[in-house]
Amino acid sequence: MDKQAFFWRIMAGELPPPRAADTLGARFTQVDGDAGTAELTFDGKPGFTNPAGHIQGGFLAAMLDDTMGPALAATLKAGEFAPTLNLNLSFHRPAVVGPLTGRGRVVRRGRDICFLAGELYQNGELVASATATAIVRAMPAPAREA
């Protein structure tokens, strides 16, 4: 765990959180960089619903990605990032407007390839679960404005 890595700088308030995390109403409740685990809460907003009034699956997928990704990001060194290569989801029951809890973890980390898993809960019930594969890469140089 490197406290100069971008994840820990975001946690310290030195860098802004990703806009996607703001959209989802993500808030960290627990992070363990040594164990590669993270727990977050999300806001299931009315604007995320489908015609049946349930949270649309794409938003649940984003919440799970934003749960597993930080579990891995908390383990990275300064100058590293780890984009998701694939994301596999299973939906267990509908989610409704209201808070959701995500729990993510690094299952196995190799030199470059990492395997992740996570679950999303609402009112103590499993809503969705996911596995993902990510790859550790050097952080790209910031884009310059034209």
CATH of the domain at 55: 3.10.129.10
Q: What are the tokens at 10?
A: 């975001």
CA distance 124 to 127: 9
pLDDT digits 0-9 by tens, 23-54: 999 999 999 999 999 999 999 999 999 999 99
Q: Indicate whether 104 belongs to any domain.
A: yes
Q: Indicate whether 143 belongs to any domain.
A: no
Q: Indicate whether 146 belongs to any domain.
A: no
pLDDT at 58 over 90: yes
pLDDT digits 0-9 by tens, 59-108: 999 999 999 999 999 999 999 999 999 999 999 999 999 999 999 999 99
Domain, as residue range, for 57? 6-138
Q: Indicate whether 64 belongs to any domain.
A: yes
CA distance 143 to 146: 9
- The confidence score (pLDDT) of residue 4 equals 79
Q: Indicate whether 76 belongs to any domain.
A: yes
Q: Of 142 and 4, which is predicted with more confidence?
A: 4
- The confidence score (pLDDT) of residue 93 equals 98
> Into how many domains does the chain fold?
1
